[in-house]
A and B are shown apart, each in its own frame.
Chain A
Amino acid sequence: MKLSVWTYEGPPHVGAMRVATAMTGLHYVLHAPQGDTYADLLFTMIERRNHRPPVSYTTFQARDLGADTAGLFKTACTDAVARFNPQAIIVGASCTAELIQDDPGGMAETMDLGIPVIPLELPSYQRKECFGADETFYQVVKALSAPQDRTPRITANILGGTALGFRHRDDIREITGLLADLGIEVNVCAPLGATPADIARMPAAHFNVLLYPETGETAARYLERDHGQPYTRAIPIGVGATRDFIAEVQKITGLTTQPDTSALRMPWWSSSVDSTYLTGKRVFLFGDATHVMAMARVARDEMGFEVAGMGCYNREFARPMRAMAKDYGVEALISDDYLEVEQTIERLAPEMILGTQMERHIGKRLGIPCAVISSPVHVQDFPARYSPVMGFEGANVLFDTLVHPLVMGLEEHLLAMFREDFEFHDDAGASHHGGHARRPAAPETPAEPAAQEADTAQRESTVEVVWLPAAEKELKKIPFFVRGKAKRNTESFAAQKGVQEISVDTLYEAKAHYAR
């Protein structure tokens, strides 16, 4: 057992729902108790869908146990096929039904429903939502795709887009446009927008574009292995990665047309002088591995930030995440425990967080600006306006997203200049930050004793150092949004030097030491 309040991922059958809801003509019969329909509202509310997810629940109750839950399941299958007339159905069990050991797949296959029946095995007590989506999509592709000739023109499938995906709708439109620029048509985009009939003609494409490894990698591997379709590895988030993606596509296809970059403003925006203050801003990244790894590159190489830490909640991608973190000189945090994430953020004291909905709230609590870059996200991150994060327009969107939470350059300069002014005093706060609700930037007490890792930075910051009154007064003159960093740097500098008492001199020696 593990005590949990907040979960980054739902159970695997929610992943299966994300695939079913993304598609049309596919119905999901889910053996589940009353109440599991709560997941419908993720789609109708957060994603604002105008129809019910194509899911039938058997809704067994206590009195059905030991009697006829299998009969309920069969009735639900028959009713669903009669009412919704799907081209194919997927069948499976939720966590409770997994325990009562009816066999949905076996039962549905014996029913002769006249359409393909795809059974799902989703181990609810070991795996989670992304696995559920990935596995379901793979099973659907495996069951329905048929060997066939390639299309006469060069075409590609786009893999991995699902319902409830962070910006999937607009990413796919952006990448479809980019492929068109390169002279490539999209054969099938799946699961998002596809029907079972579309899945059947996926092997006609020349190659696959894998946009979301979390939800499409197993299917991509299957199509490569069984249908000889190569798939792209570069995730086109950010300018550099988009260019890598284009190069990869050109290598696969032999085409050399260059895409239209006339609307790509991000590189100039980032080079312009107002962006200079972004240099070396320390950011912490957390989310799903794909978005974090892509955004780490954007943060360091395209925004000029310093990556202070990175991590992901999906264990499946721990290995590449660790490798990348090593390249960036930081340690990867692989955890689905938000308390651990919070402790890490507190310890690293970054100036900005790029994360999920949860990190947005951690940022709020700690007074650190945050931008959302990954699922899980709330309703405001399913915007009405066009907002991809992939491709060239995606890069433009990302620049705005990453800059807005930070105080603008000129504003920051003015705030620093007038820091003693009555309007810009210590507790006024910047208007962006929710001002008065702000907690002190650096906590008085050291972090939780639980974090007793062999981490030097951690040890240094917990060494007993005393601030002399004059130094403390001087510290208060530093603008609040950099004061936490100044305090931390000074304390670790003092600890390194074996200094027990911090004077004004120590403060400025540390400042000189860390100058860049």
Chain B
Amino acid sequence: MTHSPTPSAGGCRSTPVLKERGQREVFCGLTGIVWLHRKMQDAFFLVVGSRTCAHLLQSAAGVMIFAEPRFGTAILEEQDLAGMADANAELDREVERLLARRPDIRQLFLVGSCPSEVIKLDLARASERLSQRFAPRVRVLNYSGSGIETTFTEGEDACLASMVPVLPQTDARELLVVGALPDVVEDQMVGMLEAMGVGPIGLLPSRKIGDETAIGPNTVYALAQPFLAETHAALGRRGARHLPAPFPFGEEGTTAWLAAIAEEFGVSREVFDAVTEAPRARARKAVAAATETLSGKSVFFFPDSQLEIPLARFLTRECGMTAVEVGSPYIHEAIMGPELDLLPNGPRIAEGQDVDKQLDRARADRPDLTICGLGLANPLEAEGLTTKWAIELVFTPVHFYEQAGDLAALFARPMRRKAALRLEAAE
């Protein structure tokens, strides 16, 4: 196979990483629930936390909160803090009430938060106890989405990692694709792999508990998302083998990702080309439409989701942008290596955050486009910088060929808007 793209300008793998500590302007892992519950149709996510946690979910979920969502918060009250024995009884009672009201629920996640972690409420034991009590109808698992341990998308990682130990065992040779993708994207991916004759294909997470794939020493897995370090480690412990690859963003990323799997499964060059040729051409054409706006412009990434490095790679190599700084909340060398090889040398690579210092750097750089969270976007716009809010990149279908044009357009739109508006400076 010769579809692996070549590193350019030496890549960034050896670039010294600017590691920072200080105030972080990021979401905690609880936010992952907002998209995970859409994907896992028979799961309920019960956060054990404070009013702050409930308020965060409400703010992050927006109007979704009114659609009878399958998540909620068991809000700790003062008496829960006074005596620990009581907290377990209280939790059992709330779970019982919940499962009685929602008989469609097959798996329940007890999600730890900062308050529950600090008071050391043992949710692992609670989930075992409740699992026994509600077996076989409901499986109860636990993970932590607390801010003290997880950043934004790491919540998904913690959730999937909690599921790995309970997946059934198999010795069959299977492909497992890991990471929650929008249904439409997932279908496209499965369609292409099946057309190449790769299979059987398992998904983690699966849409329903009954569709869950088995796992074992002959399982190979590909990561569809970059933020899955814990899940990666847990899969390794079950004997499964990782297929390192760049992430499927843009034409190049998608091709390289598919190629890594095709190679593993002995797909011939002819078959690979026959399956990918048309969508590759479509993707290139769609990206070209946005490239007119993006080419030659500079981009600055604030840390948010760990998608920053693959997206910077896509924008620099396929859209002609120049990266100034690529910030990521966390950089996992083994997972991000192939991406760092491809990212052209030049940008500062930053891990962690001290937000005021990073804002000073962005102001000094005056990038043409700044990717950041909603807490920073409007303030930076008011300072004259053009921004693209990062959270949309997690909710919108952006992976694989058919979405490559949409992905580029997400970055081009704010720049086109800036050029289109003929307003006096904002107040």
Measured CB to CB, the residues of A under 8 A from B are 1-7, 9-11, 13-14, 33-42, 44-45, 48-52, 56-62, 64-65, 76, 79, 83, 94-96, 99-100, 123-126, 128, 358, 361, 365
Among B46-54, B198-206, B210-218, B306-314, the stretch in contact with A: B46-54
Q: Is the interface of A mostly helix, strand, loop or mixed?
A: mixed
Give the residues in chain B near A34, CB-CB below 8 Å. Answer: 24, 26, 28, 147-148, 151
A11 pairs with B378, CB closer than 8 A: no
- Shortest C-beta distance, B186 to chain A (Å), equals 27
Give the residues in chain B near A44, CB-CB below 8 Å. Answer: 374-379
Most A-side CB within 10 Å, residue of B24, B55, B115, B381: B55
- Shortest C-beta distance, A69 to chain B (Å), equals 10
Considering the complex, give the chain A residue whose CB is closest to the CB of B381: A50
Q: How far is the CA of A37 from the CA of B81 in the complex (A)?
A: 24
Give the residues in chain B near A35, CB-CB below 8 Å. Answer: 26-30, 56, 114, 146-147, 151
In this assembly, does B91 line the interface, its C-beta being within 8 Å of a C-beta of chain A?
Answer: yes
Q: How far is the CA of A79 from the CA of B356 in the complex (A)?
A: 10
Q: Is the interface of B mostly helix, strand, loop or mixed?
A: helix
In this assembly, does B23 line the interface, its C-beta being within 8 Å of a C-beta of chain A?
Answer: yes
| 22 chain-A/chain-B pairs, Cβ below 8 angstroms | A1-B48, A1-B75, A5-B54, A6-B65, A10-B52, A14-B55, A34-B148, A35-B27, A35-B29, A38-B31, A38-B375, A52-B375, A57-B23, A59-B23, A61-B147, A79-B356, A83-B356, A96-B52, A99-B115, A124-B50, A125-B50, A128-B51
Apart from the given pairs A5-B54, A33-B28, A56-B23, 18 other A-B contacts in the complex at a CB distance below 8 Å: A3-B75, A5-B72, A6-B65, A9-B51, A10-B51, A10-B52, A11-B55, A35-B28, A36-B147, A37-B375, A40-B375, A59-B23, A62-B117, A76-B23, A95-B114, A96-B52, A96-B114, A124-B51
Q: Which of B127-155 contact A (CB under 8 A)?
A: 146-149, 151
B contact residues, total (Cβ < 8 Å): 64
Considering the complex, give the chain B residue whose CB is closest to the CB of A46: B59
Give the residues in chain A near B117, CB-CB below 8 Å. Answer: 62
A2 pairs with B148, CB closer than 8 A: no
Q: How far is the CA of A4 from the CA of B379 in the complex (A)?
A: 32
Q: Top 4 nearest A-B pairs by Cβ distance?
A: A35-B28, A35-B147, A40-B375, A50-B382
Q: How far is the CA of A14 from the CA of B27 in the complex (A)?
A: 16
In this assembly, does B77 line the interface, its C-beta being within 8 Å of a C-beta of chain A?
Answer: yes
Q: Given A14-B55, A56-B23 in contact, is the A2-B75 Cβ separation under 8 Å?
A: yes
Q: How far is the CA of A47 from the CA of B341 in the complex (A)?
A: 42
Give the residues in chain B near A358, CB-CB below 8 Å. Answer: 66
Give the residues in chain A near B76, CB-CB below 8 Å. Answer: 1, 125
Give the residues in chain A near B54, CB-CB below 8 Å. Answer: 4-5, 7
B55 pairs with A7, CB closer than 8 A: yes
Please pick, from B29, B56, B74, the residue contacting A1 in the complex, using a CB distance under 8 A: B74
Q: How far is the CA of A365 from the CA of B65 in the complex (A)?
A: 13
B119 pairs with A3, CB closer than 8 A: no
B382 pairs with A96, CB closer than 8 A: no
Give the residues in chain B near A14, CB-CB below 8 Å. Answer: 52, 55
A59 pairs with B375, CB closer than 8 A: no
Most B-side CB within 10 Å, residue of A49, A57, A83, A126: A57
Give the residues in chain A near B427, CB-CB below 8 Å. Answer: 50
Give the residues in chain B near A365, CB-CB below 8 Å. Answer: 66
Q: Given A1-B75, A96-B114 in contact, is the A37-B50 Cβ separation under 8 Å?
A: no
B114 pairs with A58, CB closer than 8 A: no
Give the residues in chain B near A52, CB-CB below 8 Å. Answer: 375-376, 379
Q: How far is the CA of A11 from the CA of B90 in the complex (A)?
A: 21
A11 pairs with B52, CB closer than 8 A: yes
- Shortest C-beta distance, A40 to chain B (Å), equals 3
Give the residues in chain A near B148, CB-CB below 8 Å. Answer: 33-34, 60-62, 64-65, 96
In this assembly, does B97 line the interface, its C-beta being within 8 Å of a C-beta of chain A?
Answer: yes
Q: How far is the CA of A8 from the CA of B312 in the complex (A)?
A: 39
Q: Given A40-B25, A44-B379, A126-B78 in contact, is the A5-B356 Cβ separation under 8 Å?
A: no
Q: How far is the CA of A418 from the CA of B50 in the complex (A)?
A: 54
The 0/1 profile, CB within 8 Å of A marked 1, for residues 377-421 of chain B is 111011000000000000000000000000000000000000000
Give the residues in chain A near B24, CB-CB below 8 Å. Answer: 34, 37, 57, 59
- Shortest C-beta distance, B151 to chain A (Å), equals 7
Q: How far is the CA of A501 from the CA of B171 in the complex (A)?
A: 67
- Shortest C-beta distance, A47 to chain B (Å), equals 10
Give the residues in chain A near B72, CB-CB below 8 Å. Answer: 3-5
Considering the complex, give the chain B residue whose CB is closest to the CB of A64: B148
Give the residues in chain B near A40, CB-CB below 8 Å. Answer: 25, 374-375
B77 pairs with A1, CB closer than 8 A: yes
In this assembly, does B58 line the interface, its C-beta being within 8 Å of a C-beta of chain A?
Answer: yes
Q: Given A10-B51, A33-B148, A37-B26 in contact, is the A95-B59 Cβ separation under 8 Å?
A: no
Q: How far is the CA of A10 from the CA of B57 in the complex (A)?
A: 11
Q: How far is the CA of A1 from the CA of B46 in the complex (A)?
A: 12
- Shortest C-beta distance, B393 to chain A (Å), equals 16
Q: Given A50-B379, A52-B375 in contact, is the A96-B149 Cβ separation under 8 Å?
A: no
Considering the complex, give the chain B residue whose CB is closest to the CB of A57: B23
